[in-house]
């Protein structure tokens, strides 16, 4: 569906595909409101046009885009058999596509019109989406350990991302073996629901606290997480971001 994007990062793009029309319309409107520039690539050509979203009409099922200042380029765009679009919103890459584009007029000026895309790819890089979880009422993960290590044990989270979580292991129960996997771990995300996934330890860091106690922070990656489960994680991250932004706004 997205043959024009030649990017190694898209090998697992389906993990980030958005099919919710409401969310797609909201994202497109956000791109337009922030005047984000969009790269428009014609199928089969290397020529790139820079455009922007002028209007998103949910009722008419249309997205209006700015046209090029080059008349010849506009002709090629209108004759294209497929178009790919790439932009960013809040440091996240957004990709979508259209089979065809039509000429239209917006506020008296020439413009392009496409239908609202049925799907959209949101490439969420872990470094942008790692967000600290609450300290006072921490989110917890339940890990099933061998009986001699305590059996079912609960650990607080330090942060969460679309790629995994950071666990605080102050009793040094889990060890620090990189690559070790823990199956069927359960994370209860407040107001969102329960997530079950395998976790693999990717990094370990021992921290010395102010009281001279040592705490171990284990960075763990989700292993073969289901798309429906990942959607819960994304919703929780969005919730945390909204709460953080509200706090920042309240301080200003």
CATH 2.60.40.10 fits 128-251, yes or no: no
- Provide CATH 2.30.110.10 ranges for the chain: 8-123
**Cα–Cα distance between 208 and 222 in angstroms, integer?**
27
Q: Which two tokens mark 131?
A: 């967000």
State how beta strands 152-160 and 181-189 pair: unpaired
Q: Check if the beta carbon of residue 35 is closer than 8 Å to that of residue 51.
A: no
Q: Tell me which fold the domain 8-123 belongs to.
A: Pnp Oxidase; Chain A (2.30.110)
Q: What is the pLDDT along the chain (252 residues), one digit of tens a residue?
A: 454 454 444 444 445 678 888 889 999 999 999 999 999 988 877 777 899 999 999 999 999 999 988 899 999 999 988 899 999 887 778 899 999 899 999 999 999 999 999 998 877 554 446 788 998 889 999 998 877 777 889 999 999 988 899 999 988 888 777 888 999 999 999 999 999 999 999 888 887 767 777 788 898 999 988 888 888 998 898 888 888 878 777 764
**Cα–Cα distance between 88 and 40 in angstroms, integer?**
13
> From residue 163, how far is each of 115, 225, 238, 252 by CA, in Å?
32, 9, 14, 32
- Following DSSP, what letter does each residue of 8-44 receive, concatenated? GGGGGGGGGEE--HHHHHHHHHHHHHTT--EEEEETT
pLDDT single digits (tens) 90-126: 777 889 999 989 999 999 999 999 999 999 887 755 4
């Amino acid at each position: 569906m997205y043959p024009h994007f030649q990017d190694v990062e898209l090998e697992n793009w389906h993990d980030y595909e958005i099919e919710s029309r409401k969310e797609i319309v909201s994202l497109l409107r956000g791109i337009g409101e922030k005047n984000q520039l969009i790269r428009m690539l014609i199928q089969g050509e290397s020529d790139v046009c820079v455009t922007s979203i002028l209007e998103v009409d949910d009722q008419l099922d249309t997205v209006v885009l700015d046209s090029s200042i080059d008349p010849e380029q506009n002709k090629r765009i209108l004759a294209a058999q497929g178009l790919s679009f790439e932009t960013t919103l809040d440091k996240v890459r957004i990709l979508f596509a259209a089979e065809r584009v039509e000429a239209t007029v917006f506020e008296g000026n020439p413009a392009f019109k496409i239908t609202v895309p049925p799907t959209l790819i949101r490439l969420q890089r872990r470094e942008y989406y790692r967000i600290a979880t609450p300290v006072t009422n921490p989110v917890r993960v339940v890990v099933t350990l061998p009986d001699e290590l305590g059996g079912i044990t609960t650990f607080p989270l330090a942060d969460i991302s679309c790629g995994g979580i950071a666990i605080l292991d102050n009793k040094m129960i889990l060890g620090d073996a990189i690559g070790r996997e823990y199956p069927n771990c359960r994370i209860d995300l407040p107001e969102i629901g329960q997530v079950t996934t395998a976790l693999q330890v990717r990094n370990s860091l021992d921290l010395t606290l102010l009281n001279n106690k040592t705490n171990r922070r284990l960075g763990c990656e989700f292993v073969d997480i289901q798309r429906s489960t990942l959607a819960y994680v994304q919703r929780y991250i969005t919730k945390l971001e909204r709460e953080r932004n509200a706090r920042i706004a309240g301080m200003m």
